Structure 1
Amino acid sequence: MLEKICVYCGSSPGKRTYYRDGARKLAKLFVQKDIELVYGGASVGVMGALADGVLEAGGRVTGIIPEDLVRKEVAHNKLTDLHVVASMHERKAQMADLSDAFIALPGGLGTLEELFEIVTWSQLGLHRKPIGLINVSGYYDQLASFLDHAVAEQFVKIEHRNLLMIEKDPEELISNFENYKAPDTEKWISSDST
């Protein structure tokens, strides 16, 4: 059962309003399905639009933010629960521990770093939770193509590539999450690796 989902997304609003609109659409779905949002704790950008959307619709939001980012990312002071932690490592570990699944909305390098770390943890068998991207207006098209290229070039196994579900529609992604059965993802290292 999906009670809490972690969402990685930008502290920037992005160039186009449809990124924030995508966050608000996901927020409404969370509240409809009684899913609590777990996220990075900021009140700005896509992050702020997502948290505000959940709160305005009567949902629950847990934010986790490192002390040194409280001022930079403008910590959201109206959340259901806000945890201020000592480091990014502690932030990511707490977000992972609290969550039943993971979603990435549009964001920058931090979003990508968080996303790929959680996919790698799944690949290594450290968790068996579903992971997905909401590909708002094609934002992640080139990333999906790159991952397919990495499979073709035999740097990523297809079963590891498939750990990351990519959908344009949040409802479809949540439906995939609800029907998710974690595969056996034991990491394979070639014998000729150095």
Structure 2
Amino acid sequence: MGKATADDIVMTEVFADAEHDLGEIGGDNGVDEFAMSDTSNEERNNSQKHPLKQSRSAQVEARNATLQIIKTVVCISIILQSSNERCNYLQGLLGIFFHLMSVPQKVIDVLAHMGLSISVISIHNVIHSMSKEIAANIKQGIDNPNALCCLATLWAADSRNPAPSTIAVEINEFDMLKHHINDTYSRPKPGKHLSPRLTAFAWHVQDILVQHG
């Protein structure tokens, strides 16, 4: 077999990194270090010069840094919640999320024992408290004089009101038909294949294709 070119070596390393993508996301850099230790200095310099290899390495480093921050926050939250039950902000958010996603109760109990969620009873109490708060906000909005004035105006003109104080606006189907017949914006002019509406629509489509490709 002939000697492999630098581009072939670089592409082989790129595809090898793609196969170990899950390990990189999990922060397992041992595979990459082992592979880099076996390569020669020439291959290492060629891989560093390759833009695809550099961009992929930058993405892996950014993901590992982000995951490191997430792991640190989770560990600190578990330690704080184990020392003080009121320090359960992360656990509360995860508990509400599990409730919205219909996670089984046994799974939530296991996660609560692990320190990653609040208990099922606490989740139900939070949901009940949030419902009461939302209901109070809605009631406060109804008690607003401006909202009541708007509702009174609409009810006064409503056709279902047994004693309306104002005459409701009635829609005549013949007026709508007359308006449709006299509409010239949706009909092509003499000598034109497209109506003004379709012409404007075609211009917008062409502008989107030109500007955004």
TM-score range, shorter chain: under 0.3
- Greater RCO between the two (CA within 8 Å, min separation 6)? 1
TM-score by length of 1: 0.20
Q: Which has the larger share of helix?
A: 2
TM-score by length of 2: 0.19
